[in-house]
Amino acid sequence: MDRIRIVGGNKLNGTIQISGAKNAALPLMIAGLLTEETLILDNVPRLADVAQLQRILGNHGVDITSVGKRPGDRAYQGQTLHISAANIIDTTAPYELVSRMRASFWVIAPLVARMREAKVSLPGGCAIGTRPVDLLMMALKKLGADISIDGGYVIASAPGGLRGATIDFPKVTVSGTHVALMAATLAKGTTVITNAACEPEIADVAACLNKMGAHVTGAGTPRIVVEGVEKLHGARHTVLPDRIEAGTYAMAVAMTGGEVQLAGARPELLQSALDVLVQAGAEISADTGGIRVARNGAGIHPVTVVTAPFPGFPTDLQAQLMALMVCAQGASEITETIFENRFMHVQELARFGARISLNGETARIEGIGQLRGAPVMATDLRASVSLVIAGLAAEGETMVNRVYHLDRGFERLEEKLKACGASIERISD
């Protein structure tokens, strides 16, 4: 299994092109199942999760072609996918494919909406808590689907088609909102989703669905209204930039010092994280080209942060912020409210010399100023990248073992960091 070797201590200086968002690309690809015409997606990141979803969609009979580079394309421009679900030949998503990535479970929504039946294995994904699918099933039931669980599979059927309904989520869920939204586009009548997730990736998917002929209003707010239509058609859509990738590199620059332009990043997608970075002592400025992050000389100040659904501080940046706070002068506190058990990076960060104590959902971090490089083990996706940025800021050599998770979510990580002066290389055994 690949490892990443880092020699820390170099400041980061230069430009990093931000890729398309994984968490938008995956549901957008799944939305391709809703129509027999071709959906073209631009700026799709080249990630292991995207490749895995291509295999899953292929198993349903979807043809996906990836278009090569064209004259004038910038480096890191992402790929263009042509997704054609003209003939869905299989409505089962098997365990072997779905167990590796939680989001692939969401195929259940377009399959039951368009084909009126689906059999999808219960999902896998990062080991960050129990991550149930009860609310996704609740949403489909409200829309009139019959749902049962048999042998580890969720079986959904709606012989007469789905019907619009009111879906009130008892807790904010990104996955539940995606599933309800996609399914409702082809339901008869009006669906109202309340307490919907407001994440920008939901609004991006809704924008694409509208280009495909859906009638969705309110996406990006807690109340989404969908007027069902009989059919959707082909469209072309560009995946929005990855706010988690942008936030991660911003934290890295705050840790190492230096000055980096995050090209293509959009500040309104990660304002809460930028506010925290400013509080911590980073200099942030934004223009139409992206976000500029710098820290020159100033120390890192401790902060108190609680993760929350958008527009709050994202749980997907919690591990990276913790790495930053280890370098702060003083004690900070981070409370995780979205996922239980999302503190697996704590014991790995401790190998760098970090002093972190856990009390329920809250981590208290005693800043130690200077980390020391260490051999560490990557656990889940965001935890893995927190170890990489800790390695960049640490004195001496860090070896990040088991980097499989990083490839699921960060496009050309080593290349992008190396171009800004980091000493980082991948070792393939």
Q: How far is the CB of 23 from ligand UD1 (least distance, A)?
A: 3
**Helix-, strand-, coil-residue percentages of the chain, each rounded to 5:** 35, 30, 35
User: Which chain residues interact with ligand UD1 by CB under 6 A?
Assistant: 23, 26, 102-103, 129, 131-136, 171, 173-176, 197, 315-316, 338-339
Q: How far is the CB of 7 from ligand UD1 (least distance, A)?
A: 30
Helix (H, G, I), strand (E, B) or coil at 13: strand
Side chain identity at 382, as an amino acid letter?
Answer: R
Q: How far apart are CA 339 and CA 330, in angstroms?
A: 26
Helical H segments across 288-403, by residue range: 318-326, 345-350, 381-393
Nearer to ligand UD1 among residue 173 and residue 320 (C-beta): 173
Nearer to ligand UD1 among residue 343 and residue 352 (C-beta): 343
Nearer to ligand UD1 among residue 338 and residue 354 (C-beta): 338
Q: How far apart are CA 267 and CA 412, in angstroms?
A: 22
Sheet with 215-217: strands ordered across: 166-168, 190-194, 223-227, 215-217
Q: How far apart are CA 90 and CA 136, in angstroms?
A: 21
The token duo for 38 is 């071709």
Nearer to ligand UD1 among residue 129 and residue 330 (C-beta): 129
φ, ψ dihedrals at 361, nearest 5°: -90, 0
Q: How far is the CB of 317 from ligand UD1 (least distance, A)?
A: 10
Nearer to ligand UD1 among residue 136 and residue 251 (C-beta): 136
Which is catalytic among the residues 126, 198, 208, 420? 126
The token duo for 181 is 């939204």
The CA-CA-CA angle for residues 110, 81, 269, to 5°, reads: 75
Nearer to ligand UD1 among residue 244 and residue 374 (C-beta): 244
The token duo for 122 is 């219960």
Q: How far is the CB of 115 from ligand UD1 (least distance, A)?
A: 22
Cα–chain center distance at 162? 29
Q: How far is the CB of 259 from ligand UD1 (least distance, A)?
A: 28
**Parallel, antiparallel, or unpaired for β 12-17 and 223-227?**
unpaired
Q: How far is the CB of 134 from ligand UD1 (least distance, A)?
A: 5
126 belongs to the catalytic site? yes
Q: Which residues are catalytic?
A: 126
